[in-house]
Amino acid sequence: MHDFGPKNFNITKKPAYPFEGPILIKKAGVKNIPSTKVELNCSKIARIQGLDEFAGVLFPGNKNHQHVFLAIFIELKYAAGKFLPNLTPLCDTYGFSPRMLETVRSKMRRMGLIDHVSRFNKAYGYREGWVFSNRFSCSWARLSELIQGFKDRKGSLQERKDRDLFMYL
């Protein structure tokens, strides 16, 4: 085998009938960012009664991640001052891996459910740790306002702009 191309392709010199020449096989890459897939089914969201069902919406199809989410949420909810200095003891308490904790924690942070507090933050007594964030609820409120605004905005100029969007997507 000869490596003629970029690093993400394996190039082989095996001719395949009826083609003559190298065959490019794309290597499978590893994603560094875990999926932030969320189930946005309006009827399912309307039926949410408890935290376990909310976990199912945020982490659809992955019971292990739902358990880790519940552990983080419940521990943070009942912690003194709703502040946890460290999340790693949850692995021993609830029996899940540090990698799974890191995956769920990073998704919760990207969605805006939790925030990391720096040790330079005076509001939390110069302690480093994790707290609930209001970015998630603010983002969804903003999204709701945007959708309503898009529906309400009318007029001949706006209609032309909206129809011209097809040329740019």
Give residue-wise pLDDT tens across range 6-52. Answer: 555 555 555 555 555 555 555 555 555 656 688 888 888 889 999 99
Q: Is residue 161 part of a domain?
A: no
Residue 87 within a domain: yes
- Stretch 140-165: mean pLDDT: 89
54 and 80 share one domain: yes
Predicted structure pTM score = 0.71
Are 1 and 14 spatial neighbours (Cβ–Cβ below 8 Å)? no
Give the C-alpha separation, 21 to 34, whole Å: 38
Q: Within this chain, do residues 64 and 97 fall inside the same structural domain, yes or no?
A: yes
Assess if residue 34 is contained within a domain.
no
**106 vs 116: CA distance, rounded Å:** 10
Longest dimension (CA), the chain: 72
Q: Are 79 and 97 in contact (CB under 8 A)?
A: no
**pLDDT, position 135:** 93
Nearest CA-CA partner of 21 in 4, 36, 46: 4
Note down the domain range covering 59. Answer: 42-140
Is the pLDDT higher at 152 or at 34?
Answer: 152
Strands, DSSP E only, in the chain?
Answer: 9-12, 23-26, 83-84, 114-117, 129-132
| Relative orientation angle of helices 51-58 and 63-77, to the nearest 10 degrees | 130
Percent helix, strand, coil in the chain (nearest 5)?
50, 10, 40
Asked if residue 49 and residue 21 are part of one domain, the reply reads: no
Separation of CA 82 from chain center: 23
pLDDT digits (tens, 9 = 90+) for 73-124: 999 999 998 999 999 999 999 999 999 999 999 999 999 999 999 878 787 7
Residues 116 and 72 in one domain: yes
For residue 6 the two structure tokens come to 């970029």
Cα 91 to Cα 15, 61, 71, 87, 99, distances in angstroms: 52, 21, 9, 8, 10
Q: Which of 90, 89, 72 is nearest to 132 (CA)?
A: 72
